[in-house]
Copies of this chain bind each other. A is one copy, B any other.
Amino acid sequence: MSRNKIVDAAIKLFSELGYHRTSMDDIAKEANVAKGTLYYHFSGKGELFETIVNDGFAMLTEKIRQELAEDAPADRQIESIVRRHVELFLQYSELVHIISNEITNGIEPDILERIVRRKRDYIAFVADVLRRGHEDGELNELPYELAASAMLGLIESAVLHAVRHPETGTDKLHATINAFVLPALLRKK
């Protein structure tokens, strides 16, 4: 179906090039679809981007939720949250980058607002994990949203560094991230 081809092409190109450098022409060509078809399925570039962002967050949320379903000690849970994020950030590093940073740019205000809200929702979701961890007596009390924000920024920045310096290795990457995250979150026993 055309719509799927478009979405796939858009993910690929937005990830590789960023929002502005990706033109609707590029997407159409990559998707093997005529330019007009993009506007048949989406009202414009902004809505297409929004769709991808929404799908991305939905996927992220879903994966994390599955991870948490398993019964495991808090430190294992945090570690696996980190691992999941690292994996996804590694795979879609540029897209994540765009979502968390480049959002300010040239999108229509209403779409922008919805994307920002989406991001806030996701932060809230992660914050909630932290809050429940505290309520279970396993994590420290913290300003949860701020901590979630900080944690995601840390992970993203570290992953980006690792991507730019491939000699780093994933083990060292995980270890370093955990060195920051675990002591800050886990309640000392």
Binding site for B on A (CB under 8 A): 17-18, 20-21, 94, 97, 100-102, 104-106, 123, 140, 142-143, 145-147, 149-158, 160-162, 165, 168, 172-173, 176-177, 179-181, 183-184
Contacts and interface: CB of A to CB of B under 8 A. Distances in A.
Contacts of A154: 150-151, 153-154, 157, 180
A170 to B, nearest CB: 12
Given A94-B104, A104-B94, A161 B180 contact: no
Contacts of A147: 176, 179-180
A21 B147 CA distance: 31
Given A146-B161, A150-B161, 10 more contacts: A18-B104, A20-B106, A94-B104, A142-B179, A146-B162, A150-B155, A150-B157, A154-B157, A180-B180, A183-B184
